[in-house]
A and B are shown apart, each in its own frame.
Chain A
Amino acid sequence: MTTYHLRVNGRDHAVDTDPDTPLLYVLRNDLGLNGAKFGCGLGQCGACTVTLAGESVMSCLVPVSVVGNRPVGTVEGLGTTRAPGVLQQAFIAEQAAQCGYCIAGMMMRAQSLLAQNPKPSDAEIRKHMMPNLCRCGTHMRILRAVRRAADALPARGTKT
């Protein structure tokens, strides 16, 4: 066991864990964050997507020991049910979920796009969302929700 200092959603945490533990398990089991989900453990589905220094990554493939001081973002950091963020409001407005298991990963994938390109074209949204899988077939609503969030953002704002 080693102690790691992580900055997650703007808060600092100290975690004692094995160095090879993927960030996903640390977020879920040590920090009690539900957003990132185990889907495949192989980096193929995106259910575990979080942001690492603003870039979306599959947290099932990132050992906690390589995170370092890069800030980690999860869906919990976008807002709450009482005060949902722009992306969360958009997903609720579009009712962009069925079972919803993939949705937190979808939102974090979208978050990294909007942070870098607040006014993406529809084609750019589709391309950016490609790595993430949804089995319920909620894709059209997810695309609409990302579009809605982008439209709601100021042209050069990065805070969602």
Chain B
Amino acid sequence: MTRALENPSRRRVLAAAGSLTMVFAIGPAWPQDETPLNKGKLPGSLEKEPWLDAWIRIDADNRITVFTGKAELGQGIKTALLQVAAEELLVAPARITLVTADTARTPNEGYTAGSHSMQDSGTALRHAAAQVRQILGELAAKRFGIGAPAVTVRDGVFTAPDGRRASYGELLAGQQLHLRCNPAIPVRAPEGHTVAGKPIQRVDIPAKVTGGPAYVQDLRLPNMVHGRVVRPPSPGARLLEVDTAAIVRLPGVLKVVRDGSFLAVIADGEYRAVKAAAALSRAARWDLQYTLPAVPPFTSAAVVLGLPAKPYPILERGTPGAAGRTLEATYSKPFQLHASIGPSCALAQLVNGLYTVWTHSQGVYPLRDALAELLGADKASIRCIHTEGSGCYGHNAADDVAADAALLARTFPGRPVRVQWMREDEHGWEPYGPAMLTSARATLDASGKIVDWQYDVWSPPHNTRPGKAGNLLAATHLEKPFKPDTPTPSPQPEGSGDRNAIPYYVLPNARVVHQFQERAPLRTSALRSLGAYCNVFSIESFMDELAHAANVDPVAFRLRNLADPRAVDVVRNAARKFGWDQYRKTPRRGRGFAFARYKNLAAFCAIALEVEVARETGMVRITRAVAAVDCGEIVNPDGVRNQIEGGIIQSASWTLLERVRFDERQILTRDWAQYPILRFNQVPERLEVHLIDRPGQPFLGTGEASQGPTAAAIANAVADACGLRLRDLPLDRARLRIGR
């Protein structure tokens, strides 16, 4: 199963030598590397990786391989990227083998995060494939001795009018196109698309519904052993002593590993490892630490307020202090979990000084760098291969478990070590989506116009991803621990805690400040949409409060303050499809609306929904939700729908139910009973997603677009249903029940 490590730069040098021969052989049919391509930015990830053969390789036997540095996280990216490449290469998607994130084989596209994959990788592949097709067409014309327009192409084979044929593989004859991409070469016009823009079925689903090996959890390598790590009972706890004598005698136990407070066991069978880890946990004595703040129920945001903050003003426009009627409100969200259904898993193997790590990390290259530091190994000696895991929704424990597996592989060379976290590990130790607090203040003039806007958002870090060893959980528990990296806020316009803190509305006078908090008492990192979830919840709740104060319909109020016609379109579309103007309120029920453009630069999303609130139980049920989305040119409409639908349901779960609870010593929410998520009885009765396609427009990231609007639409609907304006998440039953 181990393969020789292939060094991408070496591979390209070799490929370059091959293509150099081709340049001489074929001459002017090839565009020259020296053409001034870098006048502007290259599109998408071509900026980082401009070489065509890093993205597309065609072998003499007509095998077409497409490479992406992005990873399938369950969002359907493999299918969408195949569609883009197939459309430009004019072959069926099934003809293409897609290789995803692998430090030995694919471009380094950083993380698969932030709804960037289509913008980065999709755009790069589209341009690279268009150029490959054009070069092939010119080669075919040259071979046939005719003009390019006379050549026809079908499924990877060119045909001359006289019937002569030449396949892509024959034309390249084993050479690869080591040329810098020229983005000026036109891509196919959307009107002629036959693959892109169509609701093609996902390529990964058949295996997933038939028990095919689809996940890293399903990898079973020869001679594989199983590791389990015993985590401390509380953050900051130190391992004082552990009697391992009885543990090493348990059936199947191969090794007990201790390095400082990092404690693990390796066994010949998975359940034997699970049992041995439980026994090891009982045999360990820890110095418990009281590191967590005491937090009364419903006020986890108080934790955030108590932390030192550094203000970063991110918007200062006009003059503050205009006269009128002023409203103020504060909103909050608690610490929340990624809560993947499958606990994180990785395999690692050390053979002859070379590590291979199979991981569902969102960033194989940054993980490789962190592992190199952790293991004291050369980067070139570590290969990280992305292998799909359970959905992650951001920075979950994928990287941490890869570090666990690599550390155990180091102590047990030769054999692949598989580590899967247990449920209590995942709930207890994944990096949480941080608690946040926001404060909004706005002034309305006599006509109901917003003449002043002040907004502050307090937030611990949303990005503590690896790159540095100290960001891997196990590294902080070693005898010689690595320190976590000092987090910094990501700059606008994307931002982190301040993502979407600047409203998309036209505000002549506005000040927005990101109060960045470097440290939180709990480890925090990126959870789907980062700060956008809380900021959009806050802003869009506040917009409803302002509309109410101005005595204007909430949809009309938003439209008054929107200038971008695409924003106006999604708002009108969602309102129309929901039947906003015809809505008749009934007892216990109410409607809510919200809008945001994700990151103020990605997909537009407006949501209208109705809830039913049972005050006697505090239960909120979504009867109907309608979303309208504009994500630029759509590559796979069903994929976009799936992402938006999923985002709405996941955000409804965060919004109605979810909160990490802890006492001064430990995390209390360690399983699904303590940390419930939405079940089938609470998902909407009906859920519609309406897409506004924009052929020819850039791809706009979609995967996180519905997180924020859903939360605000629910809060607004709850307020409409029962008159209770709730500003602290989650809107849970205890808060809504009468006489609680």
Q: Which residues of B contact A20 (CB under 8 A)?
A: 271, 275
Are B272 and A137 neighbours in the complex by a CB distance under 8 Å? no
Interface string of A125-155 (1 = CB under 8 A from B): 0110110111111111101000000000000
Residues A38 and B217 in contact, CB atoms below 8 Å apart: yes
Q: Which one, B220, B342, B647, B650, contacts A101 given CB within 8 A?
A: B342
- Measured in the bound complex, the distance between the Cα atoms of B682 and A130 in whole Å is 10
- A140 and B211 form a contact (CB under 8 A): no
Assuming the contacts A134-B341, A136-B391, A137-B650, asked whether A99 and B270 have C-beta atoms less than 8 A apart, the reply is no
A21 to B273, CA, bound (A): 11
Tell me the complex Cα distance, A38–B390, Å: 11
Q: Total number of A-B contacts with CB less than 8 angstroms? A: 182
Selected contact of A137 from candidates B217, B422, B646, CB within 8 Å:
B646
User: Which one, A34, A39, A133, contacts B677 given CB within 8 A?
Assistant: A133
Known contacts A29-B270, A42-B672, A133-B679; is-contact A95 B205 (Cβ 8 Å): yes
Once A33-B211, A140-B683 are accepted as A-B contacts, the answer to whether A38 and B342 lie under 8 Å apart by CB is: yes
Are A130 and B681 neighbours in the complex by a CB distance under 8 Å? yes
> Is residue A22 contacting chain B, with contact meaning CB distance below 8 A?
yes
A88 with B646, Cβ < 8 A, contacts A29-B270, A38-B343 known:
no
Residues of A within 8 A of B217 (CB): 37-38
Q: Identify the interface centre among A17, A18, A80, A95: most chain B CB within 10 Å of its CB.
A: A95
Contacts of A76 in B (CB 8 A): 210-211
Pair A97/B209 contact, Cβ less than 8 Å: yes
Q: Interface of chain A, helix or strand or loop or mixed?
A: loop
Q: Are B681 and A139 in contact (CB under 8 A)?
A: no
A113 at interface by CB-CB < 8 Å: no
The reply to whether the CB of B569 lies closer than 8 angstroms to some CB of chain A is: no
Residue of B nearest to A9 (CB): B211
Report A-chain residues with C-beta under 8 Å of the C-beta of B642.
95, 98, 138, 141
- Cβ 8 A contact of A80, one of B210, B390, B684: B210
Contact in complex: A84, B680 (CB < 8 Å): no
Is there an interface contact between B214 and A100, defined as CB atoms closer than 8 Å? Answer: yes
**Are A39 and B341 neighbours in the complex by a CB distance under 8 Å?**
yes
Q: Does B655 belong to the interface (CB within 8 Å)?
A: no
When the two chains form the complex, which single residue of B211, B342, B643 contacts A74, counting CB atoms closer than 8 Å? B211
The 0/1 profile, CB within 8 Å of B marked 1, for residues 22-66 of chain A is: 100100110011110111111011010000000000000000000
Q: How far is the CB of B346 from chain A (nearest CB, A)?
A: 14
Q: Is the CB of A32 within 8 A of B208?
A: no
Closest A residue, CB atoms, query B208: A100
Contact with A along B632-671 (1 / 0, CB 8 A): 0000001000110111111001000000000000000001
Is there an interface contact between B340 and A135, defined as CB atoms closer than 8 Å?
yes
A70 to B208, CA, bound (A): 26
Q: Please, which residues of chain A bring their CB within 8 A of the CB of B269? A: 17-18, 21, 25, 29
Q: How far is the CA of A44 from the CA of B670 in the complex (A)?
A: 12
B207 within 8 A of A: yes
Could you say which residues of chain A place their CB within 8 Å of the CB of B393? Answer: 135
Q: Does B210 lie within 8 Å of A88, measured CB to CB?
A: yes
Q: Which residues, 90 to 141 on A, are CB-close (under 8 Å) to B?
A: 91-92, 95, 97-104, 107, 126-127, 129-130, 132-141
Question: What chain A residues lie within 8 Å of B214 (beta carbons)?
Answer: 34, 100
User: Does B75 sit within 8 A of A, measured CB to CB?
Assistant: yes
Contact check, B201 vs A92: say whether CB atoms are below 8 A apart: yes
A78 beta carbon closer than 8 Å to chain B: yes
- Secondary structure at the B interface, as helix, strand, loop or mixed, is loop
B646, A98: Cβ atoms closer than 8 Å: yes
Interface residue? B76 (CB, 8 A): yes
B647 cross-chain contacts in A, Cβ below 8 A: 137
Residue with the greatest number of chain A CB neighbours at <10 A, chosen from B251, B272, B341:
B341
Q: From residue B9, how far is it (CB to closest CB) to chain A in Å?
A: 33
Q: Determine the distance from Cα of A138 to Cα of B389 in the docked complex, in whole angstroms.
A: 16
**Are B391 and A99 in contact, CB atoms less than 8 angstroms apart?**
yes
A92 touches B420 (CB 8 A): no
Q: A137-B646, A140-B649, A140-B684 are in contact. Are A21 and B209 (CB under 8 A)?
A: no
A17 CB contacts on chain B under 8 angstroms: 269
- Complex Cα spacing A95 to B637, Å: 12
Residue ID in chain A nearest B252 by CB atoms: A18
Which A residues are CB-close (under 8 A) to B677? Answer: 133, 135
Residue of A nearest to B653 (CB): A137
Taken together as a complex, chains A and B put the C-alpha atoms of A104 and B673 apart, in Å, by: 22
On chain B, the residues within 8 Å of A78 by CB distance are 210
Q: Which residue of A lies closest to B673 (CB)?
A: A44
CB distance from A96 to the nearest CB of B (A): 8
B215 near A101: Cβ-Cβ < 8 Å? yes
B610 shortest CB reach to chain A, Å: 16
Q: Which of A84, A99, A139 contacts B209 (CB 8 A)?
A: A84
Which residues from B are CB-within-8-Å of A79?
A: 210
Q: Flag whether B74 is at the interface (Cβ < 8 A).
A: yes
Indicate the member of B208, B271, B390, B648 with the most A CB atoms within 10 Å: B208
Is B204 located at the chain interface by the 8 A CB criterion? yes
Output the residue of A74, A103, A129, A136 with the most chain B CB within 10 A: A136
Distance in Å: Cβ of B527 to nearest Cβ of chain A = 12
B341 contacts A25, C-beta separation under 8 Å: no
**Contact, CB under 8 Å: A40 / B423:** yes
Chain B nearest CB: distance from A108 CB in Å? 10
Tell yes or no: B198 within 8 A of A by CB.
no
Min C-beta distance of B149 to chain A, whole Å: 39
Residues of B close to A2: CB separation below 8 A: none
CB distance from A160 to the nearest CB of B (A): 12
Instruction: Decide: A81 and B212 in contact? CB cutoff 8 A.
Output: yes
Q: By the criterion CB–CB under 8 Å, are B391 and A92 in contact? A: no
Point out the residues of chain B lying under 8 angstroms from A41, CB to CB. Answer: 274, 422-423
Q: Does B206 reach chain A (CB closer than 8 Å)?
A: yes
The CA of A91 and the CA of B75, in the complex, are separated in Å by: 16
Q: Is the CB of A38 within 8 A of B206?
A: no
A6 at the interface (CB under 8 A from B): no
Measured between C-beta atoms, what is the minimum distance from A69 to chain B in Å? 22
The 8 Å CB contact of A88, one of B76, B209, B271, is B209
Mark interface residues in B185-223 (1 if CB within 8 Å of A CB, else 0).
000000000000000011011111111111101101000
A72 located at the interface, meaning its Cβ lies under 8 Å from any Cβ of chain B in the complex: no
B contact residues around A95 at 8 Å (CB): 201-202, 205, 638, 642
Contact present for A99 and B684 (CB under 8 Å): no
Question: Does B680 contact A136, Cβ atoms closer than 8 Å?
Answer: no
Please report the C-alpha to C-alpha distance between residue A25 and residue B270 in the assembled complex, in whole angstroms. 7
Contacts A42-B423, A133-B341 hold; do A75 and B210 have CB atoms under 8 A apart?
Answer: yes
Contact A97 B202 (CB under 8 A): yes
Instruction: Determine the distance from Cα of A102 to Cα of B389 in the docked complex, in whole angstroms.
Output: 11
Residues of A near B351 (CB, < 8 A) are none
Of A18, A39, A100, chain B has the most CB atoms within 10 Å of the CB of: A100
B73 touches A (CB below 8 Å)? yes
What are 13 inter-chain pairs, A to B, with CB distance below 8 A? A34-B213, A42-B423, A98-B391, A99-B340, A99-B389, A101-B340, A127-B681, A130-B680, A132-B680, A133-B672, A136-B650, A137-B648, A141-B645
Q: Rank and list the top 8 A-B pairs by shortest CB-CB distance, nearest first.
A: A99-B74, A137-B649, A99-B391, A100-B208, A137-B646, A35-B211, A101-B390, A76-B211
B: residues with CB less than 8 A from A are 73-76, 201-202, 204-215, 217-218, 220, 251, 269-272, 274-275, 339-343, 388-391, 393, 420, 422-423, 638, 642-643, 645-650, 653, 671-673, 677-681, 683-684, 687
Other 13 A-B pairs with CB < 8 A, given A34-B211, A95-B642, A101-B391? A44-B423, A78-B210, A79-B210, A97-B202, A98-B643, A100-B209, A101-B74, A101-B215, A101-B390, A102-B341, A130-B681, A137-B653, A140-B649
